[in-house]
Amino acid sequence: MNLEQLLSKKVKEAVASIYDQTLPSVEFQPTRKDFEGDITVVVFPMLRYIKGNPVQIGNQIGEHLKTELDEVIGFNVIKGFLNLVIGDAYYTSFFDSIKDSNTYGRHSVENENAILVEYSSPNTNKPLHLGHIRNNLLGYSVAEILKASGNKVYKTQIINDRGIHICKSMLAWQIYGNGETPEGTGLKGDKLAGIYYVKFDQVYKTEVKKLIEEGKDKATAEREAPMLLKAQEMLRKWEAGDAEVVELWKKMNGWVYKGFDETYANLGVNFDKLYYESETYLLGKDVIAEGIANGIFYRKEDGSVWIDLTEEGLDEKIVLRADGTAVYMTQDIGTAIQRVKDFPDIGGMVYTVGNEQDYHFKVLFLILKKLGYSWAQHLYHLSYGMVDLPEGKMKSREGTVVDADDLIDEMTNTAAKISQELGKLDGYSEEERQKLYRIIGLGALKYYILKVDPKKRILFNPEESVDFQGNTGPFIQYTYARIQSILRKADLGTKHLTDKQADGIALHPKEKEIIKLLESYPETVKLAAENYSPALIANYTYDLVKEFNSFYQQVSILGEPEEKIRVFRVQLAKKVGEVIKSAFQLLGIEVPLRM
């Protein structure tokens, strides 16, 4: 039971004893810096249940707590705020309970139902780009946070490996590729496919321009351009199982899968199971048939099948075309159901997809609920904003996207440049330097993206992200490395204080602030899981690091003459380092031992 839980229980007991009223909840907040106290009980919400003056109520509850709890050694009331002073013994006792635990903040599996987290889900006609990086980092981090909060998690993606876009790059390679391969060109397979996707668009635009010059209107020209007609024909052949087209599709997709795997490894993300659209695009039709029989869907005169969601504030949505072919909604319905068949313990799913698909997921989730699936009550769209660069918006067809591999390399180079300018790596071998540059560069990239609320759009600035000061990954990594240096110099081995020795320590205000933050770590993990927000973990870590650096500047650690205080401070630094490492693991970020 943490401090808030203990105080909440006792405040409720006080209200029941003094006023004979049941208080459903108690609101807390940190005590303002200009008042004495460690934690504040907000009295105003209690006035719904207790009649009286908030100052008087605060004083009565304060006196009760001081009498009933050894932890509360004083209080003051400012208007409707009861500021409680907590004794040092509480904090030293709490710290002693966690200082030898490396699993602090992580909860064992508590839920029998697993959560499936989907992220990445790229198209196989181009390499991963900056937008995919935000998607992957969010999805992977949310999966790790959900695990840390007591959930069994499956990580997955659906690879969009079929359709007209895939045929465009295949066709362009077939016509203009001259048999090029990744091995022959030295290019990753996904980059090679992306080059021909851009090539298709260039040729297509030239053809459209020519048709317009010949007198066709723009819409007709775009519809009748020879390259597009050929791509459509290739798609028809693929769907019919044409051996030559299928063989080309397998070959080029194989190149792309290999390229994706390399990028995922560099980015530090992974998956438990992969789904392929080529295997799932026909799923869902049987469910639609059952839904028609049960009155959930209806058939129009042209044979198309729809669902009417106007009563729920949405609109009518098509789920099968007149010719009986599926739409994306049909596939997504079928794929969700298939996943529960594959993993029968799934109790909910998280879809990491950009906010342009908000409406799609509202409809999907509502349809699955109407179909009667219990797990449909626990579906979540992890909607996120786009990532922009100072140069503007990215466009895949025009080849103006920021390639994920190039960005990772750029971040490594930027970290190298700034580290060399600061002169922080004297005495490192070249191999050690290169490894550290990558840890710093990737840490900067991941932290810069994950510290922002997922729903917000990001303007990504690589140089700004690698700053060694401020709310950045390198600043936090540097603090972790500083703590490791303290521990090496202290060389205390297994020496630690007993409860009795710790109880006798009078805490410096900065020590108390650090322990308060350490105490809030498990609750922060839970809150981040409930909100599907790595930003809560990132910004918690920054607050902890800021507080530690303030402590480091104001309080002597290794220079403290009294041994038990010196040992305590080293142990405090060690635990801060462990929590930084734990929190950064949830964000998929490494921390260096030296820096």
For residue 277, tell me if it sits in a domain. Answer: no
Residues 64 and 208 in one domain: no
For residue 373, tell me if it sits in a domain. Answer: no
Phi, psi of 170 (to 5 degrees): -60, -45
Residues 81 and 177 in one domain: no
Segments in 273-327 forming alpha helices (H): 277-280, 285-293
Nearest to 334 by CA among 293, 373, 302: 373
Residue that is last in its domain, among 44, 67, 86: 86
CATH of the domain at 78: 3.30.1360.70
Quickly tell me which residue has 């179909």 as its tokens: 371
Cα separation, 353 vs 357, whole angstroms: 7
Residues 424 and 516 in one domain: yes
Residues 460 and 563 in one domain: yes
Residues 415 and 266 in one domain: no
Residues 169 and 79 in one domain: no
State the first-to-last Cα distance of the chain, in angstroms, to the nearest integer: 37
Residue 153 has what pLDDT? 97
Residue 394 has what pLDDT? 42
Residues 69 and 168 in one domain: no
What are the mean pLDDT values of the chain's consecutive 10-residue runs (595 residues total)? Answer: 92 96 95 94 95 95 96 96 96 87 83 94 93 96 97 97 96 97 97 96 97 96 97 96 98 97 97 96 93 96 96 95 92 96 97 97 97 96 89 49 88 88 78 93 96 93 86 96 93 57 79 96 96 98 98 95 92 96 98 90
Segments in 423-451 forming alpha helices (H): 430-450
Residues 581 and 471 in one domain: yes
Nearest to 230 by CA among 281, 175, 192, 161: 175
Helix, strand, or coil (residue 75): strand
For residue 204, tell me if it sits in a domain. Answer: yes
**What is the token pair recorded at 585?**
């693991």
For residue 141, tell me if it sits in a domain. Answer: no
User: Containing domain of residue 513, as a range?
Assistant: 404-586
Structural Rg of the chain based on CA atoms: 29
For residue 300, tell me if it sits in a domain. Answer: no
**What is the token pair recorded at 223?**
């519809």
Inter-residue contact 319 to 307 (CB < 8 Å): yes
Residues 58 and 196 in one domain: no
Angle between helices 328-342 and 285-293 (to 10 degrees): 100
Q: What is the DSSP string of 169-238?
A: HHHHHHHH-TT--HHHHT--HHHHHHHHHHHHHHHHHHHHHHHHHTT--HHHHHHH-HHHHHHHHHHHHH
Helix H or strand E segment including 418: helix 404-422
Residue 398 has what pLDDT? 47
For residue 392, tell me if it sits in a domain. Answer: no
Nearest to 483 by CA among 584, 582, 577, 595: 577
How many beta carbons lie within 10 A of that of residue 503, not counting itself?
Answer: 13
Residues 575 and 452 in one domain: yes
Residue 424 has what pLDDT? 66
Pairing of strands 153-159, 273-276: parallel
Cα separation, 88 vs 340, whole angstroms: 51
How many beta carbons lie within 10 A of that of residue 289, not counting itself?
Answer: 13
Residues 170 and 68 in one domain: no
Residues 226 and 77 in one domain: no
Inter-residue contact 139 to 155 (CB < 8 Å): yes
Nearest to 127 by CA among 261, 270, 276: 261
Count of domains in the chain?
Answer: 3
Phi, psi of 368 (to 5 degrees): -65, -35
For residue 453, tell me if it sits in a domain. Answer: yes
Quickly tell me which residue has 């600035």 as its tokens: 461
Check residue 108 and give left, alpha or beta (phi > 0: left; psi -120 to 50: alpha).
beta
Cα separation, 8 vs 222, whole angstroms: 67
Task: List the helix and strand counts (H, then E) for the chain.
Answer: 23, 14
CATH of the domain at 531: 1.10.730.10
For residue 556, tell me if it sits in a domain. Answer: yes
Inter-residue contact 156 to 546 (CB < 8 Å): no
